[in-house]
A and B are shown apart, each in its own frame.
Chain A
């Protein structure tokens, strides 16, 4: 093997491994018909590699294995987006504006799961309000101090910077959704996943009716700015779930 081939091999080996691993799972026929692995190409492979090489995330979610699998599918499109934009997006200034001035400057996304400060604020409030002390303990989180101050906003941004905390927020989101929609009838795990994924992407404070209405909307893209080609967030989540649920 030449030096060039060896260097190339070093670079492509993990992706090849991912493709090998994922090829064994059910194909597009088992879920939405579009092959999103092909649509997003290297970005999809990079996102999948991130999930596979960060097995600690499942543990940090503090959920049972079925729910953890669902939770990873919920955020998987965001991981694709983060993989695509990681080197381009600068959010430090936006984080400072949020710490300094608060909610009006909170419209930006942080980290692999592309969480917004407003999402974290809502999750904190709901975790305090809806979850029992036992559930919060199981999720590994305290009672959140939610008064609006520079210190609290700074602490929140520092938590969003921490991948382990992003996983905890995601775990809390899953618990909160389970509580809020405990009476909602789902056609099966994929329907529930599509519902949760849409809620994660579009705002989980939306009503069941609104979430259902926008579940098939095509709003997702991986460009820095608006893109003419957009995809359905819930479809991508379901595609990933179908290929990895076993």
Chain B
């Protein structure tokens, strides 16, 4: 115990210059979860998914010089030795790696599509129109259902539906917005309550049909309509036209407000906002009110209050007291795995 304490003190002393105290804002909590023993290495090739944080859990797979015997460190406890890699991976992955890890390294909310039985959700009524049946209720009829997605908590279903001269972006909670043009895709927020759809042009299906018999120059002029892009929020707000496309539109993983990037500017909830140097949609964690942020780069985790923490290996956002808490891990002094945590 004394030895560990000495090592930790030494680690702080040596690494002191590289762990700057924040200029403002909360001091992060710091916890050493494991110190590599002499000769011990993190198992690197292709097994990186084990170097993740999941709530309060941190799992590391270790080996002596990349070969057996293998060890697993989970929740601070070291298990092993194991001689077979598949044996050790079973323990490391138990209960956490059964779901796809899609998007887990990115700040954008990009969940894997929820599985659904389309046949039971989308059907026809007696008159031949298409309807949506979800959680005991029926929505429609429409001439055509174009897209459906279920939120992560499965409480809502968003859909795009077309009638001859109208297109709808709707939610099974009763909100329904008439949108123009051709639908591209839509995204919803982590809590499933907010959503945004990207549309191309303004012409309806009926307008497109009418164009069929017209002169080529009229068709060419009408086709220019397709150069315009729009965004519609599920609350009825419309943004655009954007002549040069929309570079990105997204919900950050930790908040329920949408962002989009168009014409070289970033907009939050429809309002242009400044973004920090090094901004990327995958690296940017804003606060719920948009006044604070954390930027997650390969070299640093940078907070909007000026605090900078070097070499974050993995990052997790936690919802606490109506705000976001950021938890991240580093490897300090080539041996100490340290977990930090602070409010955004």
Contacts and interface: CB of A to CB of B under 8 A. Distances in A.
Interface of A: 2-4, 7, 85, 87-97, 99-101, 105, 107-109, 150, 154, 157-158, 224-226
Contact of A226 (B85, B100, B122, B311): B85
5 contacts: A3-B122, A94-B44, A97-B331, A100-B310, A225-B89
B153 interface: no
Chain A interface, DSSP helix/strand/loop, else mixed: helix
B119 interface: yes
Contacts of B119: 2, 4
Nearest to B52: A90
Interface string B323-344: 0000001010010000000000
A108 B118 contact: no
A90 B104 contact: yes
A87 B122 CA distance: 28
A88 B299 contact: no
B115 interface: no
A89 B48 contact: yes
Nearest to B45: A107
Given A3-B118, A88-B101, A154-B299, A99 B311 contact: yes
Contacts of B45: 107-108
Contact of A225 (B42, B46, B100): B46
Contacts of B122: 3-4
A4 B118 contact: yes
B313 interface: yes
A96 B329 CA distance: 11
A94 B286 CA distance: 25
A7 B118 contact: yes
A145 B311 CA distance: 22
Given A92-B314, A93-B51, 13 more contacts: A2-B119, A3-B118, A3-B122, A4-B119, A87-B101, A88-B100, A90-B48, A90-B49, A90-B104, A94-B44, A97-B42, A100-B310, A226-B86
A151 B311 CA distance: 12
Contacts of A100: 310-311, 331
A93 B59 CA distance: 13
Interface string B82-117: 000110010000000000111011000000100000
A93 B313 contact: yes
Given A3-B118, A93-B313, A96-B298, A108 B44 contact: yes
A4 B123 CA distance: 9
A101 B313 CA distance: 12
Given A97-B331, A108-B45, A154 B298 contact: yes
Given A100-B331, A225-B85, A93 B314 contact: yes
A157 B118 contact: no
Contacts of B130: 3
